[in-house]
Amino acid sequence: MKLSPLQMSRYQYNPKLPGMLRNGISEICVQNGSATESVADQEKIKALFPNTYGKNEITFKKGQNTSAAKKQVVGVILSGGQAPGGHNVICGLYDALKATDAENVLYGFKGGPSGLLEDDYIIFDDDYINQYRNTGGFDIIGSGRTKLESEEQFAVVAEVCKKHGITAIVIIGGDDSNTNAAVLAEYFAANNTGVQVIGCPKTIDGDLKNEDIECSFGFDTATKTYSEMIGNIGRDANSAKKYWHFVKVMGRSASHVALECALETQPNICLIGEEVAAKKMSLSEIANYIADSVANRAAKGWNFGVAIIPEGIVEFVPEFSVLIAEINELLAGEKTEAFNALPTWKDKYDFIENGLTKESMAVFAILPESIQQQLFLERDPHGNVQVSLIESEKLFSELVKNNLAARKAEGTYKGKFTPIHHFFGYEGRCAFPSNFDADYCYSLGYNAFMLIQYGYTGYLSKVSNLSKPAEEWVAGGMPITKMMNIERRNGKDKPVIRKALVELDGKPFKYFEERRAEWAVETCYTYPGAIQYYGPSEVCDLTTRTLSLEQE
Ligand code: FBP
């Protein structure tokens, strides 16, 4: 395999550990914190997790290692969407495991949770691991989205663990995967399997965070990658002065990625789904808000701009959610076939018009035809509209175009509007991890092994104080049950880790809110440039603006 110079050089990079983990395994001891309670629904969560609920928060510190000597055979899986740094979690885990005892073994189950169910694995060794140090991607063992949640699945996993003598499983995943890690830990404890479960917080979406977990890994690198490209686009727009760029950025639901990119690049517009929902904004209101910026800039002779659109936006628009629900109902069961059999789009349109309420039809009618058709063509296996596939960047630019046409007819707008569309998502999920993510992920993995070694189960590997230099980071563990509450999922009450949405009274949003009126009219773009891996620390070890504002 031919390696790029950067890849070769990244192999040599030594990720920075928190100061307390730097003295070697024999000098890491535990400091017990207080007992924990779940964030809400304490009685219910306690009843569901009788063996793992209420445990203490713990922190590691320098001191005599008092963990019991025991051969460890650990299994690790990567779960869900790729996030830069996943390889380093596994490298940190492997290094701590081998540094503790060269006889310890690390299994990597392939293709996500299904690898555990199908007993499909590799056993890591130095040669294999060394090819993945400080690299992006999840290709070290692959990932998948199979959910590990039923008792039948847990029984299979228990059998697989028994077969290989596995003492602990590490699940690297987002809020759902770590919820399932907690349920699996409880199952293992209740059934006296002796197998521990430790989670690690992953997702570029940044929505697995709370008062304990300061950020999920991958968010830093992914947002820096998108911000580099958005900055470049801003500069191109300001050079050519003829295009409006509509940039959709990933983030299935929460708008953390969009907000961070806005803080980094100061675009003219950035929509925030959580705000749209809180203000109950309609599609037309959003389009009008963007069109105001276009028109005000055009009045200054600037027929160009940059708008960031979060991937999950349409689900936050109340009238759009109602429309989607009605469409799902309209095509439920056999009705899809009848719909598909209609010969022309005109026939289909009539069918839709007869089936939707007046209000939803009014919303449907203002959508561009390509989006209208998308709503009826792209369905998931349950027959539901795949909202994430909706090209919202095109939807909004089209709505803005119509809005501007009306202004032109009234004589209130004289500019030229030429939109260009982009979607940044997959471009960022497997980038070489930034130094922050390389360090953070390695620390999470290393720390996960220390939690295993000290006998903890149902814990999330926790590294905090992240806006400070790595030396000052704090390593420890938090019972996953502490982050849980009861939510309604698929018609049932379930214990889940609460997803973190953008807080409208939080410092990152407030910072953006105070400045966006100026950004909408002036040209205030900033150009973060490419991630820097080598050079001065103030350039290479930067955290996200979100994290630094949150920890100000
Ligand atoms: P995770 O929540 O599993 O980390 O994945 C998040 C994400 O990257 C979203 O930003 C995006 O909407 C989704 O995955 C895309 O999923 P897929 O990889 O299945 O296309």
CA-proximal residue: ligand 1, atom 7 (nearest) = 81
- 267, 256 contact by CB (below 8 A): no
With a 6 Å cutoff on the Cβ, whether 174 touches ligand 1 is: yes
Question: How many alpha carbons fall within 13 Å on the CB side of residue 505?
Answer: 0
- CB neighbourhood size of 392 (10 A): 25
State yes or no: pLDDT of 337 exceeds 90: no
Whether 152 shows a pLDDT value over 70: the answer reads yes
- The Å distance, Cα 217 to ligand 1 centre, comes to 14
Residue nearest (by alpha carbon) to ligand 1 atom 5 = 81
C-beta of 177 in contact with ligand 1 (< 6 A): no
Q: Indicate if ligand 1 lies below 6 Å from the C-beta of 388.
A: yes
Rounded-to-integer distance, Cα 419 and Cα 401, Å: 9
Which atom of ligand 1 approaches the CA of 388 most closely? 12
Residue 382 pLDDT exceeds 70: no
Contact 475, 443 (CB under 8 A): yes
Report pLDDT for 427.
96
295 CB under 6 A from ligand 1?
Answer: no
The pLDDT of 471-499, averaged and rounded, is 93
Q: Quick one: which atom of ligand 1 is closest to the CA of 251? A: 10
Phi, psi values for residue 141, rounded to 5°: -140, -5
Residue 177 pLDDT greater than 90, yes or no? yes
Q: Kindly report the CA angle at 285 between 245 and 255, in degrees rounded to 5?
A: 60
Confirm if 303 and 416 have CB atoms less than 8 A apart. Answer: yes
Q: Where are the beta strands (DSSP E) in 118-160?
A: 121-123
pLDDT of residue 543: 95
pLDDT > 90? residue 389: no
> Pick from 172, 200, 205, 199: which is nearest to 185 by CA?
199
Rounded to the nearest angstrom, the distance between the alpha carbon of 182 and the centre of ligand 1 is 21
Residue minimizing CA distance to atom 18 of ligand 1: 81
Average pLDDT, the chain: 95
Q: What's the pLDDT tens digit per position in 280-289?
A: 999 999 999 9
In short, whether 390's Cβ falls inside 6 Å of ligand 1 is no
- Give me the DSSP letters along 270-336: E--HHHHHHTT--HHHHHHHHHHHHHHHHHTT---EEEEEETTHHHHSHHHHHHHHHHHHHTTTTHH
- Ligand 1 in reach of 80 Cβ (< 6 A): yes
